Amino acid sequence: MTKFIAKRILLSLATLFVILFILFLLLQFMPGSPFNDEKLTAAQQAVLMAKYGLDKPFFIRFWIYLQNVVLRGDFGISYAIKKDMLVSGIVIARLGTSVRIGLQALLLGVSLGVLFGVISGSKRNTWMDSMATVAAVIGVSIPSYVLALVLSFVLGYKFRIFSITYQVDQPLWSSILPTIALSFFVMAQTTRFLRTELIEVLASDYVKLVDAKGVARPKVILRHGLRNAMISVITILGPLTVNLMTGSLVVERVYGIPGIGSLLVEGIQVNDYNVIIMIAFVYSALYIFVNLIVDILYGVIDPRIRVAKGG
Amino acid sequence: MKENRILEVNHLDLSFRLGNEVNHVIRDISFHLNQGETLAIVGESGSGKSVTTKAILGMIDDNGFLGKGEILFRTSRTGKEDEIVDLTKKDKKYMQKYVRGSKIAIIFQDPMTSLDPTMTIGKQIMESMLEHKKVASKKEAMAKTIQLLDLVGIEQPEKRVRQYPHQLSGGMRQRVVIAIALACEPDVLIADEPTTALDVTIQSQILELIKDLQKKTGVSIIFITHDLGVVANVADRVAVMYAGKIVEEGLASEIYYDPRHPYTWGLLSSIPSLDGQDEEIYSIPGTPPNLIDPPKGDAFAYRSEYALEIDFEEQPPMFQISDTHFAASWLLHPSAPKVDMPLVLAKRIAAFNERRSQE
Amino acid sequence: MDDRKERFNRVQLRDSKQQEMLVGSTTPFLKDAWRRFTKNKGALVGLVAIAVIFLFALIGPYINEHAYNVLDKIHINLPPRIPFLEKLGIFDGSEGNYNPYIEKGFTNDYFWFGTDVLGRDLWDRVWMGTRISFYIAMVAVGIDMVIGIGYGMVSGFFGGKVDMVMQRIVEILSGIPNLVVVTLFVLVLKPGMVSIILALMITGWISMSRVVRSQVLKMKEHEFILAAKTLGANSFVILFKELLPNIIGQIIVMTMFSIPNAIFYESFLAFIGLGLQPPLASLGVLIADGYRAMITHPHLVIFPTVVLSVLMLSFNLIADGLRDAFDPKMKGF
């Protein structure tokens, strides 16, 4: 098990390195740099280039870049959003809000998804199942920004229950709408996946044997059905995280949340590359981290992996 | 119901809805199980033998429904005299609470898939004891579990209870499944092809174990199999099923030494002999009929070399051969032509008889 | 009982009557799948909805007198107004208590979905946008399929080191979130139709290649492939021919799931400012443009959003229906 985890961590680090390299490579090709400003003279441009170290050979630049990133977490300075400020400072300051709202959405979505999935999978072909199935297919189909727009229009603007935008002084209350908007897909996807898994598990021989033991139905479903089905549900945490990140870009924009999602969109619009690269890196790292956790969790939960064969 | 019977199935019909069609899986079957005996129900897959046991346990899928018929079960009650209940009249809750696991238990075919992979085998054995309140505490349940594992022949039971199914071999897992079935000291044990998925050597060990356990506990056993060879040493009586009907029924000796139905002949001929001297292993041609639209007469006639014209027109009744031996074949009708069983089979039975007299 | 002797005659029917009974009828796989698909109400609703949207995308822009790209400084920000329906009090061209059609004297003008800030007709723009969304999704998914099948076949067929390297590449690619790949790719290539399609297909083929590879690995051991190899036949071609029928179900299902995904990513890119450039406008671009004026002119965002949502939902419903239809586990016994 320890060996397995060590191997996974090593692979994760290797992937991160490759990603950093690709990001750096892309950085070289990004068009429309702020230094192309026509008002600048050639001399001014050269000064800027030298200042940012953009005139040295590629691999040397990457080596310097790598050292900065690994040793100091330094992704360079912002060209446009907050001129000359360290990118890492800007990103880290806004990371907390994004992660918090993301986790809120994950928690809400997964809990509701498990609830609906269990109801749907164990009461197959009932009206409750049909309701959950319809809600779930709508949930995976409607983009989160559409939901964000609808929620802020109806609950924020028409009925004025929540504020239309995020308020820094009310971090919880004003994050309710974005959390709901983000969690809907998570909920729907969890419901769908769990339903399929649960139906399969409940039809398995071992659940039939539990049934034959005369165990009461709720216990059969929760103790044996859900437990086994959840092992597979853990695997969708990775894809769900990507979805939350994607959703956060647009949802943060709709609600004006000062998170890294909206920062990335801002960075894209003003071509602030270092900001873009760092956030892309943070996203990748988060994704790889979640996948690592999933692999480890999988091993912890499933005795077939946790306990070595034989003995 | 006679005093010595524990279970009696009378004229049971069972069907499944498949879209707009109805599959008549069990058609008017009757049989009984005596206290402490082993009844083998034998037939090809699809003959309805497994479904019959599911009906007894009240575990029919949602699209299945019982027609006429009854399943009488003698329920022992502590301190009171036995009660006879018709299981077809009882709801799911009753079956779960008072019958499944506690009075009637089952062993499934494949031990590799019968155990929950995420739960220790100790917990899986204790589960039904605790559910049916057969023990006062978890501690007592654990002690009993260890005894049970010992009883089914698993060494180092104290260590095994904490292990997961994947850490055990197939044979050991089947022993665990048997321990689970015996956990609540049931009156009836249904063994649904318990040895089919196992290696030949393990097969005989498990058969021995079941026989041995019956001696120790006095449990009555219904043994489901497609292979008459498997139950030869285990069964007291045998019922042969084909296409949702029982075609022949009798004491084991009567079925093995004096079979009357052509289907039983076919099944017996297809047992590979132990000495391996046979020219070739016989197999019955064709497949069982579609029961959505069951054949009018004898369902086996379509695959039989001994079919009579009447077989295609009319259902044969049960002809009585002895007090205990019955068969549903028109060949037993006084007007039927004299037909002998296949030569291979006759030779084989003669050889058996010879060996028996020598011993 | 009728005891006539002749009824007890032996029959030797093994070839005729008996055999007839023994041979059951088997429904062909695809026909069977189609039967199950058409029983699925959700999938049929989805199919009809997509057919309707597709039809409108084809002919919608031609059935009124306006055009999607003509700027009009007079007819700006007009709410929707539809003949007949306006008499019922809906789609009568009013925004709250204000009706610009009456106030500004456009009593003979009908903009079914209204107009945008530049006076362009939204009806035309929505259907032109739908066309583009369809187009991008189809092309991206088509290329996905080709690359996925090709990659999976090569990787599985050649095995060994080739497979090892190709699988490490897949592993690393799938270690990067889609979002990052797609966004950066479009950023580098500059937003536009081609770069969006390229970005979408760069990540889409991975799951397809996995399915194909595992199928190839399974089939490689089959005797007919080994036989073909020893006979010197081109086993790669044979493999391809034998492979397709085996995975056609899975390919169809995966494709149907990746179409809404592609449509989503396209609209997402538009929303974060990496969408198509004017005068082209996909549904995503329309929504991104419209949402800023959501409170004053809700029609600008409502119509493209509804079409996009219905489109996504329908594709998902069809995909669900197909998956259930092709899934042998669901097959009755």
Which tens digits make up the pLDDT trace of B188-208?
Answer: 999 998 888 888 888 888 899
Which of A87, A113, A141 is the endpoint of a domain? Answer: A87
Asked, for residue A242, whether it belongs to a domain, the answer is: yes
Rg of chain C taking only CA atoms, in angstroms: 28
B178 with B273, same domain: the answer is no
Q: Using the predicted structure, report yes or no on whether residue B125 has a pLDDT greater than 90.
A: yes
* B153-162, B267-276, C71-80, C299-308, range with greatest mean pLDDT: B153-162
Whether omega for the bond prior to residue C279 falls within 30 degrees of 0, making it cis, is: yes
Same domain for B193 and B93, yes or no, is yes
Smallest CA–CA distance, residue A77 to chain B, in Å, is: 51
On whether any CB of chain A is under 8 Å from the CB of B191, the answer is no
Domain annotation covers residue A7:
yes
Centre a 10 Å sphere on the Cβ of residue C7 and count the other Cβ atoms it contains: 19
- Partners of chain A (3+ Cβ pairs below 8 A): B, C
Cβ-based contacts of A269 with chain C (< 8 Å)? 273
Residue A180 covered by a domain: yes
| B188-192/B104-107 β-pairing | parallel
Chains in contact with B, where contact requires at least 3 CB pairs less than 8 Å apart:
A, C
Assigned domain for B161 exists? yes
What ipTM, to 2 d.p.?
0.87
pTM: 0.84
CATH of the domain at A132: 1.10.3720.10
- Residue B245 included in any domain: no
Q: In which band, very low, low, confident or very high, does the pLDDT at B159 lie, cut at 50, 70 and 90?
A: very high
Residue closest to B247 by CA, chosen among B226, B236, B262: B262
Higher pLDDT, B116 or B295: B116
Contact A215 B164 (CB under 8 A): no
Q: Is residue A145 part of a domain?
A: yes
| Residue B340 to chain C, least CA–CA distance (Å) | 13
- Is B242 among the domain residues? no
Query: Is the domain of A53 the same as that of A147?
Result: no
pLDDT value of position A183? 93
Average confidence (pLDDT) over A157-168 = 79
Same structural domain for residues B66 and B134? yes
Residue B254 forms part of a structural domain: no
Q: What is the DSSP string of C182-247?
A: HHHHHHHH-SSHHHHHHHHHHHHHHHHHHHHHHHHHHHHTSHHHHHHHHTT--HHHHHHHHHHHHH
Residue from C1, C11, C13 whose CB has the most chain B CBs within 10 Å, to mutate: C11
In a domain, B67, yes or no: yes
Residue B332 or residue A32, greater confidence: B332
Q: Classify residue A183: in a domain, yes or no.
A: yes
Q: At what angle do helices C283-290 and C299-326 cross, to 10 degrees?
A: 140
Tell me whether residue A308 is in a domain: no
Statement to judge: residues A183 and A73 lie in one domain: no
Residue A8: predicted pLDDT: 83
Residues B206 and B273 in one domain: no
Which residues of chain C have a CB within 8 Å of the CB of B336? 8
Identify the pLDDT of residue C229. 66
Same domain membership, residue A261 and residue A183: yes
The pLDDT tens digits of the residues spanning A259-269 come to 999 999 888 88
**Does A143 share its domain with A17?**
no
Residue B63 and residue B208 in one domain: yes
Q: Is residue B252 part of a domain?
A: no
* Minimum-distance CB partner of A214 among B117, B131, B163: B131
The upper half-sphere exposure of residue C273, i.e. CA atoms within 13 Å in the direction of its Cβ, equals 14
Mean pLDDT of chain A: 84
- CATH code for the domain of B126: 3.40.50.300
Q: Are B217 and B342 found together in one domain?
A: no
Q: What is the pLDDT of residue B305?
A: 79
Mark C287-306 as b/e (b = at least 16 C-beta within 10 Å).
bbbbbeebeebbbbbbbbbe
Specify the higher pLDDT residue, B283 or B152: B152
User: Is residue A121 located within the same domain as residue A260?
Assistant: yes
B22 and B68 in a single domain? The answer is yes
Judge whether A310 lies within some domain. no
- Averaged pLDDT, B75-84: 79
Given a cut of 50, whether residue A309 has pLDDT beyond it is no
The per-residue pLDDT for range A38-96, each reduced to its tens digit, is: 566 777 777 766 666 666 777 888 888 888 888 888 887 787 788 778 888 898 999 99
Range(s) of the domain holding residue B210: 5-235
Q: Residues A271, A145: one domain?
A: yes
Do B15 and B159 sit in the same domain of this protein? yes
CB < 8 Å from A in window 62-121 of B: 95-97, 99-102, 105-106, 108, 110, 113-119
Q: Are C283 and A104 in contact (CB under 8 A)?
A: no
* CA closest to A243 among chain C residues: C179
pLDDT in tens, B212-249: 999 999 999 999 998 888 888 889 999 999 988 999 99
Closest C-alpha among C285, C279, C253, C280 to residue C266: C285
Q: Is residue A309 part of a domain?
A: no
Give the end of a domain, one of A59, A87, A115.
Answer: A87
The verdict on A54 and A187 lying in the same domain is: no
Q: Tell me phi and psi for residue C213, to 5 degrees.
A: -60, -50
The Cβ-side half-sphere exposure at C157, using a 13 Å CA radius, reads 18
Q: How far is CA A24 from CA A20, A31, A55, C66, C184, in A?
A: 6, 14, 15, 48, 11
Are both A139 and A271 inside the same structural domain?
yes
Helix/strand/coil for B75:
strand
Minimum-distance CB partner of A205 among B97, B105, B114: B114
- A161 shares a domain with A128: yes
Structural domain count, chain B: 2
A32 and A94 in a single domain? The answer is no
Per DSSP, the residues of A144-210 read HHHHHHHHIIIIIIIS-SS-SS--TTSTTGGGHHHHHHHHHHHHHHHHHHHHHHHHHHHTSHHHHHH
C85's enclosing H/E stretch is none
Residue B179 lies in a domain: yes
Cβ–Cβ below 8 Å for B128 and A231: no
d(CA A308, CA A306): 6
Cα–Cα dist A195/A134, whole Å = 13
pLDDT band at A101 (very low <50, low <70, confident <90, very high): very high
Both A172 and A126 in one domain: the answer is: yes
Last residue of a domain, one of B218, B235, B252: B235
Q: Within 10 Å of residue B216's Cβ, how many Cβ atoms?
A: 10
Over range B61-89, report the average pLDDT. Answer: 86
> Closest residue of C to B293, CA-based?
C21
Q: What residue numbers bound the domain in which A14 lies? A: 2-87
Give a yes or no: residue B248 inside a domain.
no
| Count: domains in chain A | 2
CA distance A170 to chain B (A): 44
Q: pLDDT band for position B57 (50/70/90)?
A: very high
Which residues numbered 311-350 in B keep a CB inside 8 Å of some CB on C? 311-313, 330, 333, 335-337, 339
Write out chain C's pLDDT in tens, 333 residues: 555 666 777 776 555 444 444 444 445 667 777 777 777 788 888 899 989 988 888 887 777 766 666 666 666 666 776 666 666 666 666 666 777 666 666 666 666 677 776 667 778 888 888 988 888 888 888 888 889 888 988 888 888 888 888 888 888 888 888 888 888 888 888 888 888 888 888 878 888 888 888 888 877 777 666 676 676 666 667 777 777 777 777 788 888 888 888 888 888 888 888 888 777 788 888 888 887 777 777 777 888 888 899 999 999 898 888 888 876 554 332
**A132 in the same domain as A13:** no
